[in-house]
Amino acid sequence: MAHRSLADTVAEPLPAAQRTNLCMGTKIVACPRCGTPVEWTAAARWRPFCSERCKTRDLGAWAAEEYRIGGQMTDEQDDSLPPETQPE
């Protein structure tokens, strides 16, 4: 399976008009998995995700190493790895 960067999988950001409900001052964010609008409140149990399903699918993608954080490993990072996991 090809690796995707995190930026490739995040839904498009909501327009500014949808990010804040001006009447209530409630911030609206897009679910990082599917893009569904989610109110950023204590009542939104799975925030920033819209549901437990999206949260679990996102965790599964990390566990399957579908996401990668960009950048090069440095020598400092290599020294912190146990000898059996050192790159050749």
Q: Tens digits of per-residue pLDDT, 26-85?
A: 899 999 999 999 999 988 899 999 999 999 999 999 999 898 888 887 766 555 556 665
| Count of C-beta atoms within a 10 Å radius of residue 17 | 9
| Coil vs helix vs strand at 76 | helix
58 lies in a domain? yes
Domain carrying residue 48: 4-69
Question: How far, in Å, CA of 58 to CA of 85, rounded?
Answer: 26
Looking at residue 36, which CATH number applies to its domain? Answer: 3.30.50.10
| 9 pLDDT more than 70 | no
88 lies in a domain? no
The total number of structural domains that make up the chain = 1
19 lies in a domain? yes
| Count of C-beta atoms within a 10 Å radius of residue 50 | 20
Task: Give the rounded distance of the alpha carbon of 11 from its chain centre.
Answer: 10
User: Cβ(61)–Cβ(39) under 8 Å?
Assistant: no
Give residue-wise pLDDT tens across range 20-42: 554 557 899 999 999 999 999 98
45 lies in a domain? yes
| Count of C-beta atoms within a 10 Å radius of residue 68 | 11
10 lies in a domain? yes
80 lies in a domain? no
